[in-house]
Amino acid sequence: MQLVEQIRQADYAGDRQALRDRHAALASAPTGSAPKALVLYWRGFALWRRTINGFNVTPPPDDLAADAEAAGAEFEAALKEDPKLVDAQVGLIGCLGIRMYLHGKQDDETQALIARAKTLFADARALEPENPRLLWVTGPVEWRTPKGSPEDVVDSHQAKAMATYQRGLRAFPAASRPGPEPLRPTWGEAELHMSLAWSYLHRREPDASQAEIHGRRALELVPSWHYMRDVLMPQIEAARRTATR
C-alpha cells in the first residue's frame, strides 16, 4: 500500500506533519483485502514515529505524550483484531516506554504502565522470541541502570543490550523478505544498526570507530534518514576527531 511506504519515508525524513497526515489518510483509504489489524498497526506506527521524531525537535513539541497515547490506542485496537500480532505488541511497548519517560515519576500510573509492558514482553517473547523489532525495543530496557550503579554493572547492562541488537541483526535478510501479507512489517535492520551506533558512542567506554561502522551501515540501508545523517553521524564524527587528538 502506497500510504504505508509514505509513512516509512516520512519517518526517516523526520517529517512529523506528514506522519500525522498519513495517519489520518489511512483511516479512510481503501485497504482491499488487507487485514484490519495490519492497517491499525500502521496507523499506530505513524504516530509512534511522530513521537520519536519529536524528541529531535528543539524545543520539544508539547504533543509527545498525546501522540504516544494515541499511537498506543491504535496498537491496542490492532491487538483486539489479532492478539498474536507481535509487531503491534512491539509498538505498544515502545509507546508505553515513551509515556513512562515523559511521566517522569514513580507512582501508580507508572506502575500500571510497567505491568502492561511486562505482560506484552512475555507474550511477544512466547510467540516470536527472535522478532528483530522485538529485540530492538528490548535493548533500551536492558541498557538502563540506576544512577550511581557500579561500573561493572553498567558495563554488563550495556553489553547485554548491544548483544541483543546484534541478535536482531542475525534475523536479516530473511526477516525483510516480503511475505504473503505485504503490509506485514519487515523493517528493523537499519534501526538496529542505528542503535548499535548510538550505543558504541554512549557506552561507558565509547568506541567511535565501531559507532561509525554501524552508522554508515544504517545510512547505506536508508540514505535519507535525517536523524542518522544529520544528528547522530555528526556526533560520531566529532567524537572520532576528539579521540584522535
pLDDT confidence of residue 232: 97
pLDDT confidence of residue 105: 83
Domain check: are 97 and 7 in the same one?
A: yes
Q: pLDDT, tens digit, for every residue of 24-63?
A: 999 888 777 789 999 999 999 999 999 999 999 988 899 9
pLDDT confidence of residue 176: 59
Q: What is the dihedral of CA 93, 216, 166, 191, to 10 degrees?
A: 20
Domain boundary among 70, 99, 129: 129
| CA separation for the pair 83, 231 (Å, rounded) | 37
Is the model more confident about 29 or about 110?
110
pLDDT confidence of residue 178: 58
Does residue 180 carry a pLDDT above 90? Answer: no
Domain check: are 106 and 213 in the same one?
A: no
Domain boundary among 88, 113, 129: 129
Domain check: are 24 and 95 in the same one?
A: yes
Domain hosting residue 202, numbered range: 130-245
pLDDT confidence of residue 60: 86
Q: How many CB atoms lie within 10 A of CB 62?
A: 8
Q: How confident is the model at residue 148 (pLDDT cuts 50, 70, 90)?
A: very high
Domain check: are 93 and 149 in the same one?
A: no
Domain check: are 38 and 107 in the same one?
A: yes
Q: pLDDT, tens digit, for every residue of 58-102?
A: 888 999 999 999 999 999 999 999 999 999 999 999 999 999 999
pLDDT confidence of residue 230: 97
Name the phi and psi angles at 131, rounded to 5: -60, 120
pLDDT confidence of residue 28: 85
Domain check: are 147 and 216 in the same one?
A: yes
**Residue 167: all three cell numbers together:** 541478535
pLDDT confidence of residue 29: 80
| CA separation for the pair 185, 183 (Å, rounded) | 6
pLDDT confidence of residue 243: 77
Domain check: are 102 and 156 in the same one?
A: no
Is the model more confident about 169 or about 178?
169
| CA separation for the pair 228, 233 (Å, rounded) | 6
Residue 101's Cα: distance from chain center in Å?
A: 14
Q: pLDDT, tens digit, for every residue of 184-226?
A: 999 999 999 999 999 999 999 999 999 999 999 999 999 999 9
Number of domains in the chain: 2
Summary mean pLDDT of the chain: 94
Does residue 1 carry a pLDDT above 80? Answer: no
Q: How confident is the model at residue 21 (pLDDT cuts 50, 70, 90)?
A: very high
Domain check: are 141 and 117 in the same one?
A: no
Say which range, 9-23, 29-43, 52-66, 169-183, has the weakest mean pLDDT.
169-183
The CATH code of the domain that includes 107 is 1.25.40
Domain check: are 197 and 230 in the same one?
A: yes
pLDDT confidence of residue 245: 64
pLDDT confidence of residue 32: 75
pLDDT confidence of residue 145: 95
Place of cell 498519513: 22
Domain check: are 2 and 114 in the same one?
A: yes
Domain check: are 161 and 117 in the same one?
A: no
Number of H helices, E strands in the chain: 12, 0
Domain boundary among 113, 129, 145: 129
Cite the beta strand spans of the chain per DSSP E.
none
Does residue 170 carry a pLDDT above 90? Answer: yes
Q: How many Å is the maximal CA-CA distance in the chain?
A: 59
Domain check: are 158 and 114 in the same one?
A: no
